[in-house]
Chains A and B, each alone.
Chain A
Amino acid sequence: MPNEYQLMKDGALCQDEWIYADEEVGLSDAPSIISLSRLKAEADVLRARNAKLGVQLLADGNGKTKLGEDVQELEPYLDMLSLVSIAFPTYRNGRGFSAARVLREQFNFDGELRASGEVLHDQWAMMRRCGITAFELAPSVSLETFSDAMGELTDAYQPAADDQRGALWQRHK
């Protein structure tokens, strides 16, 4: 997303090597995040490109549909993708939590999964549990705030896309 953000990745603030590519312009050799429609339209050309490729999955209709984009549509292109940026248009729209788990658990996607858009304090830990490893955060968020939020709940009741098994299973190891 073209908004100003700082990137929190694998628990550290870092320089973002990725750019969100302009839809109208040809791709550079920099690692580029494109739209799903562009990915579908230019897949053959993009497959031959010798640089890292990412896609952003929209969770709202962008004015076109009621639902936004379907994660299932990414399946044929996964071998080309090093990153999926999952959009959370508002914190109320939790569709991306499911998209993340499907990518990790059903498609076994092992590239970067990042949360973009409205990525708020009280959702970071849940996003991580669903397999998201990178977060586009507001510039005001400190590393300490982020780490504290991640540690608020030590255990979980249920399994998800991370390595916690959940109390219902863990009690009988």
Chain B
Amino acid sequence: MAQHSSKGARFQAVTANRLSDGEVVYLSPDNQWAETFAAADIADGPEAGDALMARALPADFELHVLEPYLFEVLQDGTQYKPASVREIIRAAGPTVRLDLGKQADAKRES
């Protein structure tokens, strides 16, 4: 798999796709697979990143998600946001179909 986090990355989160429907999910502070990036646990520093990744891989993780990995996150004021275009798109949905994906769910809820 491609590298989704650079060596110098300070903040990282773990993402995966849900087994049943492929939905993009993020590992939350209470070890749940959450549907929004806002609910993701953010690790500060490489060691915290490794620990976060370890929490994503309990023995039975494959029953819930596939291909979990760490990706780089940037601090944006008091908020965080994914660093790469790829992860921004995964967190929101296709940029050419704003009516689909998480961006659409967010719009419906607001």
Asked if the two chains touch in their complex, CB atoms less than 8 Å apart, one says no
Q: Taking beta carbons and an 8 Å cutoff, which residues of B are in contact with A?
A: none
Q: Taking beta carbons and an 8 Å cutoff, which residues of A are in contact with B?
A: none
